[in-house]
């Protein structure tokens, strides 16, 4: 039977050690990719309402604001959370992982990525 033209494949980053563990961007050479909601819900298997319920319960990372009306999720975080669920991690372990992933985001500063030492440099 021929495949329908309406079939869409969801591109996900290749599974490597770099994009499956939370590491600050400055320490990683992997390019970061942001996935929009349809890609994330397709990858996780959740419907939109269940997905946002997981965010409110701390079982998924909060989105990254792209502009006034658009958000996305870092592909490495998506892969890490899906891997944790597949590995059978408990909800409490996943909540801790979410906190770790979100704190790693805050540790990444774009100015430092570009080699700008910042205002504290002598």
- For residue range 50-59, list pLDDT tens digits in order: 999 999 999 9
Overall pTM > 0.85: no
Q: How far apart are the first and last CA of the chain?
A: 68
24 near 106, Cβ under 8 Å? Answer: no
pLDDT digits (tens, 9 = 90+) for 40-51: 999 999 999 999
Mean pLDDT of 61-75: 96
DSSP code, position 73: E
The domains located in the chain, with CATH, are 31-106 (1.10.1660.10)
């Amino acid at each position: 039977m021929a495949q329908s033209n309406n079939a869409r494949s969801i591109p996900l980053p290749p599974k490597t050690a770099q994009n499956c563990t939370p590491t600050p961007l400055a320490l990683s050479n992997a390019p970061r990719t942001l996935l929009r909601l349809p890609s994330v819900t397709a990858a996780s298997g959740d419907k939109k309402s269940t997905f946002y319920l997981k965010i409110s319960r701390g079982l998924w990372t909060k989105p990254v604001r792209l502009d006034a009306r658009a958000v996305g999720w870092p592909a490495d975080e998506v892969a890490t959370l899906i891997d944790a669920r597949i590995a059978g991690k408990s909800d409490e372990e996943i909540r801790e992982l979410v906190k770790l992933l979100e704190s790693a985001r805050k540790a990444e500063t774009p100015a430092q990525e570009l080699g700008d030492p910042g205002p504290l440099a002598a």
